Structure 1
Amino acid sequence: MSVADRLTSLGIDLPKPAAPVANYVPFVISGNIISISGQIPMGPDGLAFQGKVGQEVSIDDAIRAAHLCALNLIAQMNAAVDGDLERISRVIKLGGFVNCVDGFGDQPKVINAASDLMVDVFGDKGRHSRSAVGTNALPMNVPVEIDALVEIS
């Protein structure tokens, strides 16, 4: 099944790739690797989630935020390959950051939403290595930020 078919079967319309909010680019292609800058839970109407997990943000909302970050990663991949997601030969690594209260230990559960989406969309090519790190703050007080390394053909 093609990536486009998987997206359709999942009911996913990719969002417009978010523009950078500071002095960086959304992705860099070096050889056959795309390094994608951290994506935050930006929805069609702006930030969909703000706050600290375990305080203002529930774990269920953090999981939804991670899913949205992953959609934004795929949108950046799509931009990098000029709309041909079949060029994605491997999602190499996701780096997940969770803005959470001290003592919160479910970062892997939150970031699983992004990992699951990569496998749902790219199949075995979506299986990746990963970090899931808790932090005391993230830009714009978002609960989750995720970056990625992706191999292309």
Structure 2
Amino acid sequence: MSKTTISGRLRELGLELPETNQPRGAYVPIVRAGDLLFVAGQAPRLNGVLKYAGKVGRDLSIEQGQDAARICALNILGHVASMCDDDIDNIAGLVRVNGVVNCGDDFDAHSKVLDGASELFAAVLGDKGRHARIATGASSLPSQMAVEIEATIQVRPK
């Protein structure tokens, strides 16, 4: 990525950060500890509407799972922007991504699904989007969401 800002890169890619979704439980969506932001698990929701529900590999294709993961990634970036007073360019680097795919016992393409989020982070953040990751599966997720992703992001000190 050139010297283009992160917000500029979003525009170049034709992407907009969605409105942040409110937590659906007794927790906060993002916490800052020093120069790290911990973003709680994000669903593939846009404007409060769940876009992908069901099991990937049974109800949904891998490609739909990847799109769900991309929406989760955009939601993560949206929470970061809100925490940083809409200054998404404050991101120093993506540290770790944790993703869970709603799937059956025999599903084994978790990494392919989570690549949807990882590739979006790389496209938007460039080298700052390189991260460690875990991709796992679960027999169910809240609201039957197809994918849930959380992230740890380093930002420049205040």
TM-score by length of 1: 0.97
**Which of 99, 104, 114 is the equivalent residue of 2:102?**
99
Tell me the equivalent position of 2:122.
Answer: 119
Taking the aligned partners of 2:131 and 2:57, their CA distance within structure 1 comes to 27
The residue matched to 2:107 in structure 1 has which SS?
coil
Equivalent residues of 2:21, 2:48 under 8 A apart: no
Whichever residue aligns with residue 31 of structure 2, its letter is V
- Structure 2 runs not aligned, ≥5 long: none
1:91-149 Cα deviation digits (max 9, x unpaired):
00000100101111100000001001111111101100000001111111011000000
Taking the aligned partners of 1:46 and 1:134, their CA distance within structure 2 comes to 23
Whichever residue aligns with residue 115 of structure 1, its letter is S
**Which of 37, 41, 44 is the equivalent residue of 2:47?**
44
Tell me whether 1:81 sits opposite 2:84 in the alignment.
yes
Tell me the equivalent position of 2:36.
Answer: 33
- Structure 1 runs not aligned, ≥5 long: none
Taking the aligned partners of 2:56 and 2:104, their CA distance within structure 1 comes to 6
Whichever residue aligns with residue 88 of structure 2, its letter is L
1:45-82 Cα deviation digits (max 9, x unpaired):
60001001122111111111001111101101111111
Taking the aligned partners of 1:55 and 1:110, their CA distance within structure 2 comes to 13
Taking the aligned partners of 1:57 and 1:28, their CA distance within structure 2 comes to 32
Equivalent residues of 2:44, 2:148 under 8 A apart: yes
Please show how residues 6-25 of structure 1 align to structure 2 within 5 Å.
Answer: 6-25=9-28
The residue matched to 1:17 in structure 2 has which SS?
coil
Tell me the equivalent position of 1:129.
Answer: 132
The residue matched to 1:130 in structure 2 has which SS?
strand
Equivalent residues of 2:19, 2:46 under 8 A apart: no
Q: Sequence identity of aligned pairs in percent?
A: 38
Tell me whether 1:59 sits opposite 2:62 in the alignment.
yes
The residue matched to 1:70 in structure 2 has which SS?
helix
Shift in Å, 1:13? 1.1
Shift in alpha-carbon separation, 1:83–1:112, aligned structure 2, 3 A? same
TM-score by length of 2: 0.94
Taking the aligned partners of 2:19 and 2:87, their CA distance within structure 1 comes to 15
Tell me whether 1:110 sits opposite 2:113 in the alignment.
yes
Please tell me the root mean square deviation across aligned C-alpha atoms, in Å: 0.9
